[in-house]
């Protein structure tokens, strides 16, 4: 009987937590379909105002352009950083020399450097290099993240070295080994890394805020804070915009959740 009670308590706890986790989402979507006045009055049901809200939002901001900016930056950033970090992970795993541990130490340290302490010099460099307002300027600082490199290195800890040696004997070049042996083996890690990186790239705020100074190059998170700049906030439109901003990452997360968890599982060993 005692076990029964604790079971019931456990499920109740889970239900409460799930409600707390999901309610803001539900509210966000339902608010997107309602008129601002009704949202304030506490209306939680889905309304019929979605089309109106979409029309107003499109009239207020260049939604298509902003969405495309975000998407382009996120995809370019994800692809580039996956290539660089997987190569670095490969290098750290396959090559062994006396400087490796020291390099890893530096990498670990760099993980602890807060972005706020490098943003000023970074901005000055980027403005000298004329990278302001460009995709390149957005993605460059996040291309080589220590976290991703570690992620790849940890996951490939049990990588079969015999295969690499066999391939070398057979005359396969280093790049060939990376491309044809390492990457296929690392597919689950690659998938998890891609999900995390895309979400981070899509959601990043501080660096774009600094480096994107033209209206035309704004991204979704920048647009969101722009929408609240006035004195009266139209919640319907704001929540519609928040929903649109959340949809891509939400879609990826819900459909790819299994791979994501599997990838993390592989790395925390």
Partner 1 sequence: MVQALFLSFRSGLGNNLKFSGFRNYARLFEDLTFHSSVANVFIYLLFQVPIMLFSALILASILNQPDLKGKTVFRTLIFLPCATALVSSALIFKSFFSMDGIINFTLQNLHIISEPKNWLLDPIWSKVIIIIIITWRWTGYNTIFYMAGLQNIDTSVYEAARIDGASASQQFFKITLPLLRPVILLTTIMSTNGTLQLFDEVRTISPGTGFKSTITISQHIYNVSFTNVPQLGYAAALSYTILIMVAFLSFIQMKVGDKV
Q: Closest Cα to residue 262, out of 163, 212, 191?
A: 191
Nearer to partner 1, 75 or 264 (CB): 264
Nearer to partner 1, 61 or 245 (CB): 245
Contact 88, 149 (CB under 8 A): yes
Nearer to partner 1, 159 or 253 (CB): 253
To partner 1, the closest distance from the beta carbon of 120 in angstroms equals 5
Nearer to partner 1, 66 or 245 (CB): 245
In the block, residue with structure tokens 């207020």:
60
To partner 1, the closest distance from the beta carbon of 260 in angstroms equals 8
To partner 1, the closest distance from the beta carbon of 181 in angstroms equals 22
115: Cα within 13 Å, side-chain hemisphere: 11
Handedness of CA 61, 66, 68, 71 (dihedral sign): negative
To partner 1, the closest distance from the beta carbon of 110 in angstroms equals 6
Q: What is the largest CA-CA distance in the chain?
A: 73
End-to-end CA distance of the chain: 37
């Amino acid at each position: 009987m005692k076990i029964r009670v604790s079971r019931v308590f456990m499920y109740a706890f889970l239900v409460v937590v799930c409600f707390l986790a999901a309610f803001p989402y539900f509210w966000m979507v339902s608010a997107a379909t309602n008129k601002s006045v009704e949202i304030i009055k506490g209306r939680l049901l889905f309304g019929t105002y979605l089309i109106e809200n979409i029309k107003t939002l499109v009239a207020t901001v260049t939604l298509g352009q902003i969405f495309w900016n975000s998407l382009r930056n996120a995809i370019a950033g994800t692809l580039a950083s996956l290539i660089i970090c997987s190569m670095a992970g490969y290098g750290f795993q396959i090559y062994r020399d006396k400087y490796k541990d020291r390099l890893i130490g530096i990498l670990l340290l760099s993980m602890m450097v807060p972005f706020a302490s490098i943003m000023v010099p970074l901005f000055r460099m980027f403005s000298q290099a004329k990278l302001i307002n460009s995709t390149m300027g957005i993605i460059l600082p996040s291309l080589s993240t220590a976290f991703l490199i570690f992620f790849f290195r940890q996951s490939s800890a049990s990588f079969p070295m015999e295969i690499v040696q066999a391939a070398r004997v057979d005359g396969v070049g280093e790049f060939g080994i990376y491309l044809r042996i390492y990457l296929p083996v690392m597919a689950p890690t690659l998938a998890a890394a891609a999900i995390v990186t895309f979400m981070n790239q899509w959601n990043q705020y501080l660096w774009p805020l600094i480096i994107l100074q033209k209206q035309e190059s704004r991204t979704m998170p920048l647009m969101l804070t722009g929408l609240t700049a006035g004195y009266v906030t139209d919640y319907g439109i704001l929540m519609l915009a928040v929903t649109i901003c959340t949809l891509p990452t939400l879609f990826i997360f819900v459909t790819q959740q299994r791979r994501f968890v599997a990838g993390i599982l592989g790395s925390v060993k």
